[in-house]
Amino acid sequence: MSEEVDYDDLKSRAVSQPLVTHIYTADPSAHVFDGKIYIYPSHDIDAGIPFNDNGDHFGMRDYHVLSMDNVTGETTDHGVALDIDDVPWAERQMWAPDATHKAGKYYFYFPAKTKEGIFKIGVAVGDHPAGPFIPQPEAIKGSYSIDPAVFEDNGSYYLYFGGIWGGQLQKYRNNQYDDRHDLVNDHEQALSPMMARLQDDLLEFDEEPREVLILDEKGNPLLAGDNDRRFFEAAWVHKYNGIYYFSYSTGDTHFICYATGDNPYGPFTYRGRLLNPVIGWTSHHSICEVDGKWYLFYHDSILSKGVTHLRSVKVVEINYLDDGRIETIEPYV
């Protein structure tokens, strides 16, 4: 018999508490716009679908936007910013999103499955950080898989994406889908996250998507069997002291790890773990600077007492070491 989990004890030991409790939220992408923190999470619901490795039980159908004046203040839920019924090309499973802004407009990037059951990435545009967002009639040409994360650097915008298993990344080679493709062998190079620079209007790719290589300490690409370090999903990029940090989830081993490089394209060299496993199967995050300090936005499933697909967004400060490494965060002390 499995050991019963004391969720009240875990809650008391957690380094942070849910930002909202009236709905379930996950996969938070946080940014400071107009002096306020805006958080773009996925909206977890109980769709009544049994757990499986394809993630069908993550049946989300809309997005709410959250905001905070500061990291210790109240969190405002601005309501539905985009619903799947408003997206002509999408049928189901609106998973982890992200957003950016340019020239007074706000751009919201999101994955969803088409009627053919294939994940694509769409973009919707609004006049306010909290939406509402009006989707483009078609998905971004050449987009696929899940977990879009947008990064602005020196006036250029880059979109990172990809996730294996339910995220379908393993079905692609050279940006082409083939259902016969699958996960590679453990001794082979791990499947890489993807990225592409966006066009000036931020609505389409300006180049063919390319792999983002994650290297070990010897300069070799991580292998597929290196489950504690290889990429699974949840790409995020931020820049600190001139160094580019690529962080991500290892999925089935439940770590948030990070690697560093000297440009947005990589390659990135593995540096360590950012967050140790949380309660719940998934781990997905973002990193945002607020008033000169840096924060990790993440989620866990304590509020739902461990229900994998009912998660809650949280935030905790991160600390950089003198050599550029980040201290590993223990979610429960």
Q: How far apart are CA 284 and CA 331, in angstroms?
A: 13
Taking the mean position of all CA atoms in its chain, how far away is CA 306?
Answer: 20
Ordered strands of the 62-68 beta sheet:
24-33, 36-44, 62-68, 75-83
Strand runs (DSSP E) across 129-283, as ranges?
134-135, 149-153, 156-161, 172-173, 176-177, 194-197, 210-211, 214-215, 233-240, 243-249, 256-261, 268-275
- The CB-side HSE value for 320 (13 A sphere, CA atoms) comes to 16
C-beta of residue 246 within 8 angstroms of C-beta of residue 230 = no
| CB atoms inside a 10 Å sphere around CB 125 | 16
Q: What are phi and psi of 253, to 5 degrees?
A: -105, -5
* Pair 312, 10: CB distance under 8 Å: no
Catalytic residues: 27, 233
